[in-house]
Amino acid sequence: METSLASEEYHVGETVSHYAIIKTIGTGGMGTVFLARDLILDRLVAIKILLADATSDPERKRRFLQEAKTASSLNHPNIVTIYEIGSADSRDFIAMEYMAGRTIKQCAGDTGLLLQDALRYAVQIAEGLAAAHAAHVVHRDLKPSNIMVTDRGAVKILDFGLAKLVRTDLGDATRTQVTDPGVISGTPAYMSPEQCKGLEVDWRSDIFSFGVVLYEMVSGRPPFKAGWSRFLPKRRCPLAAWCPMFRRISKRLSTSACKRIGKRAR
């Protein structure tokens, strides 16, 4: 029985615009991501399709389209490349580059990455964030599952669904507010205290999230274990508790290589 394009899922071989579905990659809060083939350019792509029940939700649709517009405005090797924003049979979609690989979450596992790998990936994450911040874009949902490592070791920052534009140094009023003021959006374990409180945030919030990601990259566990009250962490888990090599890591993280990470992310 053939699945209609208005349904929640697609079958292998069905087409959305000029993209032939190959398989499902994953499903998030706003859409399902499929591996597909571009029938015009004959290349593999990742295509995110807005969930059927979200088409009538203006906010979710706005966030979905904002992700595509924001990411497409950023041209950097460490940020996912957007090929097309389109609509087919009343379903909005984003076609983007397909990357064979694993997320930082999958790479780190429960034991953490080798230190040299963590530093190599961290520098690339910092480069991507620096490019976004230079364009006045704050990601606001940086976490291990939103960072992909390709089979060749290249890092790509994904999912700009919560991203927003902030005021420029010239003080103009250009601003894209994806969520209403006071509304908390994001992943609490990786959010800055300001974002947890629903306050206005800037690039420094991403740097906080980056620090949390770094912690998990070397230890395999997030620093904030439990006890969130009103979205604020009460208890911090010392890195030494999770990682026997903490002293060695601390020494290595204070080297010039790691100092460059901070400079590039500013």
Q: For residue 222, tell me if it sits in a domain.
A: yes
Task: Give the pLDDT confidence score for residue 263 in this predicted structure.
Answer: 55
Number of domains forming the structure of the chain: 2
One domain for residues 51 and 123: no
Q: Which amino acids are annotated catalytic?
A: 141
One domain for residues 111 and 206: yes
The mean pLDDT of 5-26, rounded to a whole number, is: 79
pLDDT tens by residue, 16-37: 999 999 999 887 767 789 999 9
Q: For residue 7, tell me if it sits in a domain.
A: no
Element (H, E) at 16: strand 15-16
Nearest-5° angle of CA 156, CA 223, CA 235?
150
Residue at a domain's end among 63, 97, 131: 97
Q: For residue 8, tell me if it sits in a domain.
A: no
**pLDDT surpassing 50 at residue 177:** no
Q: For residue 210, tell me if it sits in a domain.
A: yes
One domain for residues 93 and 128: no
**pLDDT surpassing 80 at residue 52:** no
Q: For residue 209, tell me if it sits in a domain.
A: yes
One domain for residues 93 and 111: no
One domain for residues 162 and 211: yes
Q: CB 128: neighbour CB atoms within 10 A?
A: 24
One domain for residues 135 and 251: yes
- Of residues 184 and 80, more confidently modeled: 80
- Of residues 133 and 186, more confidently modeled: 133
Task: Give the pLDDT confidence score for residue 236 in this predicted structure.
Answer: 60
pLDDT tens by residue, 189-198: 888 888 877 7
Residue with tokens 């208890």, as numbered in its chain: 235
Q: Minimal CA–CA distance to 118: which of 23, 206, 19, 245?
A: 245
Task: Give the pLDDT confidence score for residue 255 in this predicted structure.
Answer: 56
Q: For residue 112, tell me if it sits in a domain.
A: yes
Structure tokens at 245: 């090599």
One domain for residues 147 and 56: no
One domain for residues 24 and 146: no
Domain containing residue 46: CATH number: 3.30.200.20
The percent of residues in the chain predicted with pLDDT above 90, rounded, is 31
The mean pLDDT of 52-57, rounded to a whole number, is: 70
**pLDDT surpassing 50 at residue 108:** yes
d(CA 119, CA 135): 25
Out of 53-62, 190-199, 225-234, 238-247, the most confident range is 190-199
One domain for residues 257 and 151: yes
- Of residues 84 and 89, more confidently modeled: 84
**pLDDT surpassing 80 at residue 228:** no
Instruction: Calculate the average pLDDT of the chain.
Output: 77
Residue at a domain's end among 97, 114, 148: 97
pLDDT band at 252, cuts 50/70/90? low
The mean pLDDT of 227-249, rounded to a whole number, is: 55
One domain for residues 61 and 181: no
Domain containing residue 148: CATH number: 1.10.510.10
pLDDT band at 74, cuts 50/70/90? confident
Q: For residue 3, tell me if it sits in a domain.
A: no
d(CA 52, CA 40): 26
One domain for residues 93 and 106: no
Residue at a domain's end among 97, 123, 139: 97
Beta bridge partners of 34: 24, 47
One domain for residues 191 and 110: yes
Q: For residue 138, tell me if it sits in a domain.
A: yes
For 93, the domain range is: 15-97
pLDDT band at 185, cuts 50/70/90? low
pLDDT tens by residue, 116-164: 899 999 999 999 999 999 988 888 889 999 999 999 999 999 887 666 6
d(CA 117, CA 225): 24
Task: Give the pLDDT confidence score for residue 17 in this predicted structure.
Answer: 93
